[in-house]
Amino acid sequence: KITLQPQASIISPQVAFSVSLADSGELYKGPCADKTLVFKRVFSNIGNGYNPNTGMFTAPVGGAYFFTFNTFGYNSHTAGAILIKNNDIQGVSADGADSSSNSVLLSLAPGDTLHLQLWDNGQVFDNANAHTTFTGFLLHPTTK
């Protein structure tokens, strides 16, 4: 006779966020000295890794994370952003005036921070249509 024992369920941490630059109305950013893009409209923030007051994402757990970002430009300035992890550039998107995007897969340790910085002399635009966005999610946590 075989007796099956229930296994403890394994709960994997859940981390995901999706944000856009403007929480209401129209927002034009740049060129300016403060280059950190602070995304105010939060569509989702599972695990509370994204801080809408600072524009920073802090990894609550280590693992493989996927990030994608899009910028929408205006005027004759470059539309673009730079993805910064712990003060190091991880990815760049830039276009003469239209829009730009990029995606990266990164290995993060708990407490690593990421944010988007406005491209030098760049300008971006956003409104209720969510043209300028930043999204990230945990693919799988680091196993020990």
Could you write out the DSSP letters of every residue in 93-122? EEESSSEEEEEEEEEE-TT-EEEEEEPTT-
SS3 84: strand
Integer CA distances (angstroms), 20 to 23, 40, 43, 49, 108, in order: 7, 6, 8, 15, 23
> pLDDT of 44-64, one tens digit each?
999 999 999 999 999 999 999
> pLDDT of 14-48, one tens digit each?
999 999 999 988 988 888 767 899 999 999 999 99
Nearest-angstrom CA–CA distance, 58 and 68: 16
Prediction pTM value: 0.89
Task: Look up the domain containing 83 and give its range.
Answer: 16-141
CATH number where 37 lies: 2.60.120.40
Residue 7 lies in a domain: no
Residue 101 lies in a domain: yes
Residue 4 lies in a domain: no
